[in-house]
Structure 1
Amino acid sequence: METPLASTPATAPIGSPDTTPVPPSPGTAATVLRVGPLMPQLEKELIAEFDAPLISAVADELTPERERELTQVRVVVTGGRFGVSAALMDRLPALEAIVNFGVGYDTTDTAAARERGIALSNTPDVLNDCVADTALSLLLDVYRGISASDRYVRAGSWTSGNFPLTTRFTGTRVGIVGLGRIGSAIAQRLQGFDCRISYHNRREIPGSPFPYVDSLVELARRSDALVVAAAGGADSQKLISAEVLEALGPDGVLVNISRGSVVDEDALVAALTTGTIRGAGLDVFADEPNVPEELLDLDNVVLLPHLGSGTVETRADMRQLVLDNLASWLENGTLLTPVRL
């Protein structure tokens, strides 16, 4: 799927001494690289407008010929599943900016980007509502057994007896791990179910209407359900540990719509198979698209294929924001939604 690179003059990375962004000359295609694959419609537009080639996220797969072609790449467009490694950045000497399709960018080496003076953008806000809707759907599904009872009917089991009683969700104590944009949208929805909400962040949010709990273990102990909406990355690896799950307890439910890396997946599998917690709703996993086999036959677990933002409307908004960020950078060296590195 390699497309020849357009020929444009290389420029030094933005942020290097004595450099300024140089937009492409009129009628000249910008040097844009896709690291993916990406959303099909976005790929079509990047190819049509920028003649942008596609490579995988693994720099070691580049041939010497391709490496020579990549010396003029100014902007990489990638997604949260792939990102840009330090090794790949090293093979892109003219790289100025990384435009990320998705709010999560933990697969990009941000330390290497910061050191090189490479700018980074993501697509915040436009996906808040759909991801929050997904979190609420998972909570309701686990508590009321929606998916499990659907399987019960399809298997013909209803003729042999009623489905077991489930648990009321209204009035539940919900702890939110990460009360940012998405976490706040989740909290707004939970208020409609009279849920008692508390949260844990790195720091307390001034003016928040919800109680702050400075210990994650204590938040789990005080909650019936724990919703993980924390950002991925090195700082949050396995934040939801065996200790947190034990504190959540045998009646507790875990929902994760953030990143699979935020949860110690081995500890979660053990907690679900031994009854340490009651159930879970998972939209993300540590090694996507691979899901631990132990979870596949559990009726107390709802498994989704990372579809939190997967609606036609939201993906269209994300696509447009990527294109707008790209256009802005090529025009004047600024990003509409920059990430602070």
Structure 2
Amino acid sequence: MKLTKGLRLFYQISIASILILSTSSCFDLGKVDNTLAEFDRAINRLENESANWRQVVKDLESSTKETISYELENFAETTINTAGAEMRCNATFVNDYVGYELQKKILKKRNELAQKIGASPRTIPAPLPVICNDPKQIILKGNQPQTSSVELYGYYLNPNEFQIIAELNEQAARKAKIENPSSPRVIKKRLAGGQFKVSLNLGENGISGDLLQIIDRIILKSQNQEIYILHVIHTRAERTKAKVTVNFKSVYLEDDADPAGSAEVDFTFRVNGQTKTWRNSNANSGRTYSVNKQFQVTLSKEENLSIYVNGVDEDGGWMDEDDPLGQVTETFSASRNWGLGSHNLRSNCPDGCYYVNFDVNVDWID
């Protein structure tokens, strides 16, 4: 964040904005008491009306004009340009942050004056951190957060004063055998960053994905108060591999290509390079035969499932050559879920002809 040069100018302007130009060598106690009261009134108003800080300063200048002069030329404009425009929450920044900075400067002058007359010093409470942007959630796929960090922009941010509290997902915590899963846990990690931006690191450098798996919400606390809540959205990791099972159940011989009688058929089944065979020496047209040949392959999403079946009527050299019953070829991609379901495919029938019946089952691997 480009704040160094801008904030330096901002602080210079802030310091110059409230300046005691002249005081009498001999105190006018009544006048000093009145000035002290005006200081207190301005501080009180700024605590409750930071949005009206310009009016507070104007009124203070008017009521204490014999003692204090304010150099306000271009003060608001410079503040907005040098700091607010880089804060991602400009209007709120100017109203609250500038108001608080003025409050501190007035307090300093007030206490300096009080010390001179022996009056008690005053303090103002430290402001709570303000978060301006709204990331809302951490998306977790499996145990992988979808971002390496969550960045929070705002002001009054002190990374060392934040406490990170985790509310657990009771079901996941019990499964992980975490004691007292209903109790919030303090995460012993620190935010990174400074007064205008802090980061909650995730993954290897921060809160691990394994830990995020059992968390529902992350609560950021400061001064024992909740400042911001991040919800952890749990989604399944994208699965990239599957165990695919192909079960060739049966063959129906439409035409055994043997007019003389029963045929001796020989079938070859091949799935992604794996091969099995089935034979029947007494096969006839119009009948269905159980083959029960099963294959299992593990495929990534980039790989296809290749099915190949070849059938032959073996004539044994008696009258002619073997009669081809045809082939069945089919390719299924991951986009088609590798052909999940039942299939009954007809061969290309060059001489004889058959149907092959098979099922495809897909089990994704996490």
State the TM bucket, normalised to the shorter chain: under 0.3
Alignment TM-score, normalising by the size of structure 2: 0.19
Alignment TM-score, normalising by the size of structure 1: 0.20
The structure with the greater share of residues assigned to helix is 1
The structure with the greater share of residues assigned to strand is 2
Please say which structure displays the higher CA radius of gyration: 2
